[in-house]
Each structure stands twice: as C-alpha cells, then as structure tokens.
Amino acid sequence: MADIDNKDTAEMDPADMEDVEEVEEEETGEDNKARQLTVQMMQNPQILAALQERLDGLVGSPSGYMESLPKIVKRRVNALKNLQVKCAHIEAKFYEEVHELERKYAALYQPLFDKRSEIIKAAYEPTDEECEWKADDEEELSDEMKDKAKVEEEKKDEEKEDPKGIPEFWLTVFKNVDLLSDMLQEHDEPILKHLQDIKVKFSDAGQPMSFTLEFFFEPNDFFTNTLLTKTYVMRSEPDETDPFSFDGPEIMRCTGCPIDWTKGKNVTLKTIKKKQKHKGRGTVRTVTKTVPNDSFFNFFSPPEVPESGEMDEDSEAVLAADFEIGHFIRERIVPRAVLYFTGEAIEDDDDDYDEEGEEADDEEGEEEADEENDPEYDPKKDANPPAECKQQ
C-alpha cells in the first residue's frame, strides 16, 4: 500500500501538488478563524448568559444514557432512588433537631442580648472592667501615648453633651448593611431612631417550625405600637412530588402585624394630586389620591400566599426578597449586631469578595500564559498592548 501511495504521489503533476498545499493551508486558516471566533464568543457575557440559561434548562432532563441502560440496570437505579428518598427524610429529621438546638441555645444567648439592649437604651451603665477592650491600633502604642490619647478623649467628652446609651444603634446597623439600607427611605430614619431592640423568638417544642422577629420601639410620635412582629413559617420535609429537591428547611409563608399609625404620620402611604379635565365642559378639577409609598415599614405587610400557592411574578419576587431579609436578620444581624454597628462584620464580607477577585485575576493570568505558550501566537499582531506595557 505504501508503494501504491508513493506511486500516486509521484505521478501527480507539480501544479496539482501546489493546489493540494493551498487547500490544506486554507483549511488550517479556517480552523484558526473558528478557534478565534470561539474564544471571542466565550468572552462575550451576553453569549455566556444565554448559554448558561440553556444549560440550566437541561438540568434534570434525561441525557439519553438512562434510556440506553438494560431494563435490569434501570430497576436497580430505581432502588437507589428509593434509598435517596429515605435519606431526604432522615435529613429532614436532622434539621428538625437542629431547630431544637437553636431553641435551646437561644435561651442561653438571650441574657447576653438583654444586657446588650439595656446598654443601648441606657438602662444599664457597664462597669470599667466590662468596657475594657484592647483595640488593634493600641497594641504598639507606648504608655505615654495612651495616656495622652485618653486625656484628649476625656476633653472631647467634656465638651459634648453626655449621650444616653448608644444613640441610633439599630438605625446605624441598618444603614451599614446593603441588604437593609436598600429598604430604608429618608422618612424611615426618624422612626428607626426609636428602635431599641430586635429579638428572635423560636416556635415552642412540638409546634410547626417557625421563628418571629420582634422589633421593640420606645414611645414615639409616629405610631402607638411598642412592638412590631414578623413571623416566618418553615417546612422541613421533602415534597412528595419532588423529594430530591429537598435542601433543608424552607420558608413557606410569613405574616406581619398592623401598625397603629398616628394621624398624618403613616410613611407607607402618600397623597398625590392629579388634575382631571372634563371632556364636555372642559373644566379642570384637582383630585387627591392616597397611594402606596416606599418604606421599610412595608416589611410588616408582606403579600399573602394563597392556599393554592400560585402567585404572580411580582409577588413571588417580593416574597423571595422578604424571606432573604428575614433569614439574614435572624442569622446575622441579631447575633452580631455590634459588629455591623462598627462595620467590622461588613469588612469581613468585603474580604470574601476580594478573594473572589484574586481568583479571577489568577484565571486571567493563566489565559495570558496560554497565549504565550501557543506556537501560533504572534505578539507583534497585538495592535493594542496593555497600558502597563506601553513605553512612557
């Protein structure tokens, strides 16, 4: 066969050989263009988003592999699925016991949180020993510098009026957290200055799994309530129609509470005036209407979930955001309030984002290295070199 191939090659006209080489070069060039086009497409965020959406749509759909399996193997796979359902029910019991542990330890935390509340609202003045705290920036200061700083601080305190407790504690916490500050409006702030404490109350043993956020206010000019509540009811059991989707307790619904607003102080409503022109007579009249207004206090009037469970997209989006906020207040804000007041907890969150950014930089560096290792890569063809590579 080798001899025949050589013979055929030898008998080919030189011009034909050139044509063959040109065709091969053209095919190589097309491959290059296709590869470059693929790289450009993969760097386009819109194309990537569309591709991701398409892939998400394929999740859970049969790949064709299962259909190709013998019947006896499919039968065994079904046995594995039944085992997985039993695992989901055991996992549900695990989360129920976790909830019981949360109830137990909430009782241990509460005396500390009560003392925190007393300090914030000036019901208790902490002792000098309780107030001792070695800050990071004080570690390297000499005794002389510490004494000087203490004198200057005392002098400033003498010049200022002695504040009671820690003014605007919870308002500052809310303003420091993006998830909560996005809900705040300027007209909410004077009201939240009267917020004295937030507590988490878990459902009693043997009751359906739930938790209630309790917002305690001092007497104020805006409403007569001293306590506003928001209750979240959860479910910790696999859905019979889709047991494999179980991933821990999920919030099923939430209920707020009525707010007894002082006349003219309801910030969840606003009055607008509209001019209407009569079609026949042409006269103009001014109509006053009361419409909903953006406010943090809409948090206590969530959309109701109908018994059918079917909701429109807007209501579903509002509830999803509401569940996220309620969970965040319970898990992060109440247990670590002082760190959100000082901003230290926010700095920790920022550090997490920095780490993601460093990973992205590493990936970009790997891509650049791949280009340099590519035998077909020609740096001279790069018409726009990075700014740091240009001569000054």
Model pLDDT for residues 290-306, shown as the tens digit of each residue: 899 999 999 999 888 77
341/172 Cα distance (integer angstroms) = 6
| Position 245 pLDDT exceeds 90 | no
How far lies 283's CA from each of 197, 277, 278, 289, in Å?
Answer: 54, 6, 5, 19
Helix (H, G, I), strand (E, B) or coil at 291: strand
| Position 16 pLDDT exceeds 80 | no
Q: What pLDDT does residue 22 have? A: 47
What is the mean pLDDT of the segment spanning 264-282? 85
Q: Give the pLDDT band (50/70/90) at residue 179.
A: very high
| Position 309 pLDDT exceeds 70 | no
Q: What pLDDT does residue 155 have? A: 61
CA 173 from chain center: how many Å?
17
| Position 28 pLDDT exceeds 70 | no
Model pLDDT for residues 60-101, shown as the tens digit of each residue: 555 678 888 889 998 999 999 999 999 988 988 888 888 889
Spell out a b/e string for 331-345, using b for 16 or more CB atoms within 10 Å of the CB, else e: ebbbeebebbbeeeb
Q: What pLDDT does residue 99 have? A: 87
Q: What pLDDT does residue 200 have? A: 95
Contact 227, 217 (CB under 8 A): yes
Contact 270, 200 (CB under 8 A): no
Residues in the chain: 392
Q: Give the pLDDT band (50/70/90) at residue 280.
A: confident
Ordered DSSP codes for 59-115: TTS--SHHHHS-HHHHHHHHHHHHHHHHHHHHHHHHHHHHHHHHHHHHHHHHHHHHH
Contact 210, 203 (CB under 8 A): yes
- The dihedral sign for the CA sequence 6, 12, 15, 19: negative
- Angle 216-220-224 (CA atoms, 0-180°, nearest 5)? 75
Percentage with pLDDT > 70 across the chain: 67
Q: What pLDDT does residue 335 have? A: 95
- Angle 161-162-168 (CA atoms, 0-180°, nearest 5)? 100
Contacts of 191 (CB under 8 A, 6+ apart): 220, 222, 267, 297
349/178 Cα distance (integer angstroms) = 11
Contact 179, 328 (CB under 8 A): yes
Contacts of 271 (CB under 8 A, 6+ apart): 288, 289, 290, 291
Other C-beta atoms lying within 10 Å of the C-beta of residue 383: 5
Model pLDDT for residues 343-360, shown as the tens digit of each residue: 998 866 655 544 444 444
Half-sphere exposure of 332 (CA within 13 A, CB side): 18
Higher pLDDT, 155 or 388: 155
pTM: 0.66
Q: Give the pLDDT band (50/70/90) at residue 260.
A: very high
Q: What pLDDT does residue 383 have? A: 46
First CA to last CA distance, the chain:
63
| Position 311 pLDDT exceeds 90 | no
How far lies 198's CA from each of 139, 174, 291, 327, in Å?
Answer: 34, 12, 29, 13
- Window from 84-88, 94-98, 113-117, 197-201 with minimum mean pLDDT: 94-98
| Position 138 pLDDT exceeds 70 | no
Higher pLDDT, 307 or 90: 90
261/263 Cα distance (integer angstroms) = 6
Contact 226, 210 (CB under 8 A): no
What is the mean pLDDT of the segment spanning 172-199? 95
357/174 Cα distance (integer angstroms) = 26
What is the mean pLDDT of the segment spanning 198-211? 89
State the pairing for strand pair 250-255/269-277: unpaired
Higher pLDDT, 250 or 213: 213
What is the mean pLDDT of the segment spanning 13-22? 48
Which CATH fold would you assign to the domain 91-126+165-342? Arylsulfatase, C-terminal domain (3.30.1120)
Secondary element (H or E) of residue 38: helix 14-42
Indicate where the chain has its CATH 3.30.1120.90 domain(s). Answer: 91-126+165-342
| Position 1 pLDDT exceeds 50 | no
